[in-house]
Amino acid sequence: MKVSVKVPATSANIGPGFDCMGLALPIYNIVTVEETVLPGTGIDINILSGDLDDLSLDQIPLDENSIIYKAIEVLYNSIGQTPSELRITVNTSIPLTKGLGSSSSVIVGGLIAANELLGRPADKAALLSIATEIEGHPDNVTPAIVGGLVIASQEDDGSVIYRKINWPDEWQITVCIPDFELSTDIARSVLPQEVPLKDAIFNVQRVGLFIEAVNAKDADLMKVALKDRLHQPYRTKLVPGLSEITENLRHEDNVLGCVLSGAGPSLLVFSHKNSLDKIKSIVRDTWSQMNVKADIRTLPVEQNGAVVLQQDD
């Protein structure tokens, strides 16, 4: 039996919502898991670079240390089984180590495919909980599973509570992907274990304002709400161009804000429809002065989460 699952890219944090807000984007990885017929074939993992020309693909472990294998193993183990004869293929279009949820996509794709192979022992709530446990936070895996813009928390019992928020169609999201990489492990290692109370209060205020700004489509409120003091100030030194791009965009009336996508190094620029060309050239030119090339795309929020594409017996 063989199952393919299409999983969207995701952008986490969205300014103040560190480890709790994220949105899905229309860039996809396709994860295929197949039970091989010949006994003793073991686990065979293949990464195929869809439309990616990405050297970092070579760094992905293709054995039992692979995060996708670990995700599949957790699901098998949850019903007392061990995966033994599987061919796993990931067809990637989500750039790796760019802050666009590539690891979440393979965790989610692996879990959903394994769940189908095993006759769906896990419901959506269980998949959310397992995926969050593996990833460590719910802000990428939740939109990868349910789509849209979400705010999510993981409770002490492991369950994930989330709500979708409607992103205003008239607000544009421009995803700016530089040609350098930043691993999430490194980007998390620079964060302090404790933060000043005033910074925690600052972010709590902004998350509240963010929800109201989106619901009321209030652009002035959004400009205030997109600020963050919990992760971006510590990561700025790891992302050449972040402070310069933010500063250069600050003078553009149509820009609502510029934030790190997840742990970076990609950036999201939120804006009104007009001035998109100007915004793109500001980002491109600022990075270009630092010899950084960028792939810049204006994309809608993907409203669908992961979908099972194909199931062959």
Give contact residues for ligand HSE (rule: CB under 6 A): 12-13, 18-19, 137, 139-140, 184, 187-188, 231, 262-263
C-alpha to C-alpha distance for 14 and 18, rounded to whole angstroms: 8
CB of 191 to ligand HSE, least distance (A): 8
Identify which of residues 79 and 200 has a Cβ nearer to ligand HSE in the complex: 200
CB of 263 to ligand HSE, least distance (A): 4
DSSP state letters, 244-288: HHHHHHTT-TTEEEEEE-TTSSSEEEEE-STTHHHHHHHHHHHHH
Identify which of residues 20 and 52 has a Cβ nearer to ligand HSE in the complex: 20
CB of 111 to ligand HSE, least distance (A): 17
Identify which of residues 171 and 234 has a Cβ nearer to ligand HSE in the complex: 234
Query: Going by C-beta distance under 8 Å and a sequence separation of 6 or more, which residues neighbour residue 56?
Result: 96, 97, 181
Query: Going by C-beta distance under 8 Å and a sequence separation of 6 or more, which residues neighbour residue 292?
Result: 178, 179, 180, 240, 241
Identify which of residues 149 and 282 has a Cβ nearer to ligand HSE in the complex: 149
CB of 140 to ligand HSE, least distance (A): 6
Identify which of residues 1 and 204 has a Cβ nearer to ligand HSE in the complex: 204
H helices of the chain, in order, are: 67-78, 102-117, 124-135, 138-146, 184-189, 197-216, 219-225, 232-235, 242-249, 276-288
CB of 276 to ligand HSE, least distance (A): 26
